[in-house]
């Protein structure tokens, strides 16, 4: 029995040594995902249009209400980073969506997780919690996702069709760190070389 315990302990230590360092910061957990329609010929296109506001997907929009948008200066900074990447790939931005080959829609959504706990053992012996009863404790953290979707429409499509999607998860935790967001935007375009139309 003792030998088995030592054997399993050795395996655990060996496996643990393969990953000497875990994540230390929020940005260590950032992930960027991209997908595209491999039948779409991006090289035959060259113009795009994009809204001047990034919509926030809240999930509680009631019919007739205006949507929420990302606040400034983050809205402009993120749009500028997207435009910079598109320009570097040879795309020209046009004002009117009807005159563009593609429309790029950026959006964000956030999730807030709330932890709530109470020192439940205080009912039995208040001494554990100091004098009197303990108060409930609450903490929370927020994570966010930036989504960019390119949509093609026109004579070749019965309905608008998604031809490229990028999602950067893990962003917008706490306060917005624009450097992290911009790095994620750059990464999304870096791993999408098929978007190059030069």
Would you kindly state where each structural domain of the chain is located, as residue ranges?
27-195
The answer, yes or no, to whether residue 37 has pLDDT greater than 60, is yes
Q: What percent of the chain has pLDDT over 90?
A: 41
Q: Above 50 in pLDDT, residue 21? A: no
Q: Please state the pTM of the whole predicted model.
A: 0.70
Quick one: pLDDT band at residue 56, thresholds 50, 70, 90?
confident
Token code pair at residue 121 = 């053992």
Quickly state the pLDDT bin for 58 (edges 50, 70, 90): confident
pLDDT digit string, tens, across residues 99-158 = 999 999 999 987 666 665 555 555 555 555 555 445 556 665 566 789 999 998 766 655
Which range in 58-72, 78-92, 103-117 is most confidently predicted, on average pLDDT?
Answer: 78-92
How far apart (Å, rounded) are the C-alpha atoms in residues 114 and 48?
Answer: 40
For the segment(s) 27-195, the CATH number from 3.30.160, 1.10.3470, 1.20.1070, 3.40.1350 is 3.30.160
Confidence of residue 43 (pLDDT cuts 50, 70, 90): very high
pLDDT at 116: 59
Between these two residues, 169 and 127, which has the higher pLDDT value?
A: 169
Q: What is the Cα–Cα distance from 119 to 114, expressed in whole angstroms?
A: 17
Please return the burial class of 6, using the count of CB atoms within 10 Å of its CB with bins 0-12, 13-18 and 19+: exposed
Within 8 A by CB and 6+ apart from 107, the residues are 54, 55, 56, 57, 146, 147, 148, 149
Confidence label for 18 from pLDDT (cuts 50, 70 and 90): very low
CA distance readout (Å), 193 to 55, 85, 101, 189: 26, 11, 18, 7
């Amino acid at each position: 029995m003792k030998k088995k315990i030592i054997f399993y302990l050795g395996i655990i230590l060996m496996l643990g040594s393969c990953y000497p360092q875990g994540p230390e910061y929020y940005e260590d957990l950032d992930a960027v995902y991209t997908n595209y329609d491999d039948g779409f010929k991006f090289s035959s296109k060259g113009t795009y249009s994009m809204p001047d506001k990034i919509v926030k997907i809240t999930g509680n929009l009631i019919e007739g209400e205006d949507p929420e948008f990302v606040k400034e200066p983050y809205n402009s900074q993120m749009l500028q980073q997207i435009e910079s990447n598109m320009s570097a790939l040879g795309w020209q931005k046009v004002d009117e969506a009807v005159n563009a080959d593609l429309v790029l829609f950026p959006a964000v959504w956030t999730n807030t997780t709330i932890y709530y706990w109470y020192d439940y053992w205080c009912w039995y012996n208040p001494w554990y919690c100091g004098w009197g009863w303990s108060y409930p404790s609450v903490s929370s953290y927020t994570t966010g996702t930036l989504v960019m979707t390119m949509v093609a429409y026109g004579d070749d499509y019965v309905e608008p069709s998604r031809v490229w999607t990028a999602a950067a998860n893990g962003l917008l935790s706490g306060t917005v760190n624009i450097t992290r967001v911009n790095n994620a935007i750059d990464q999304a375009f870096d791993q999408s070389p098929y978007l190059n139309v030069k």
